[in-house]
Structure 1
Amino acid sequence: MNRILLQYLLPLLLPTVVYLVWWWATGCRQAATGDGSGTRKPASLTQGPWFWLVLAGVALMSAGLIHTALTTGEAPGGRYVAPHLEDGRVVPGRVVRD
């Protein structure tokens, strides 16, 4: 579950969370300066930074996937033994070095 959270959800949701925090903080600043409105409506999708949020999410997800591909796995040259039953127990798959 942690792997799914860190590799897929966090890179996609973090830019949106940062944007919403920024939006909330600038709204508090506008209320403190007294612009008179008292309320704020979010910008429409065509006016907001949604393109950049999606692009940042895809970039972070790609970086996570590349990192995972480069730092995990088995070195080439082994023989894969598929999972099988041995004495009534399931023996997990593994790579055997010859």
Structure 2
Amino acid sequence: MTRILLTYLLPIVLPTLLYVLWLRFVQRRAAAAGQPARAWAEVPWAWLFAAGLALAGIISAGTLVMGESDETGDYRPPYVDERGRVVPGRFE
């Protein structure tokens, strides 16, 4: 479930979330300066959605390319042998 959230949902929502945070910052700064603030009607929803889909696609492609290993078998983690040397991890 966490992998699905991090791989698909977060990348789609992240551009919109960052834009909303930036918009709130700009609105507060404009209000403090006495200038008119940007309206919510000006939010580029299509661009934000497209950026989210592009980010999700990039992350999915990266997961596809780097997610699996060619190694098979059981993994033996690194350990310290009886002589005190560190034996690196390996697949058996």
Aligned to 1:81: none
**Cα distance change, pair 69–40 in 1 and its aligned pair in 2 (3 A):** closer
CA contact (8 A) 2:23 2:38 kept: no
Aligned to 1:17: 17
SS at match of 1:73: coil
Cα root mean square deviation, aligned? 2.3
Aligned to 2:45: 50
SS at match of 2:40: coil
Distance across 1 between alignment mates of 2:63 and 2:7: 9
Structure 1 segments, 4+ long, off by >4 Å, are: none
- Structure in which a larger fraction of residues adopt helix: 2
Q: Deviations over 1:9-28 (max 9, x none)?
A: 11011001011001100100
Aligned to 1:2: 2
**C-alpha displacement at 1:41, in angstroms?**
4.5
Q: What's the TM-score, normalizing by structure 2?
A: 0.65
**Cα distance change, pair 4–74 in 1 and its aligned pair in 2 (3 A):** same
SS at match of 1:28: helix
Q: What's the TM-score, normalizing by structure 1?
A: 0.62
Structure 1, gaps ≥5 residues long = 76-98
Aligned to 2:86: none
Distance across 2 between alignment mates of 1:10 and 1:50: 16
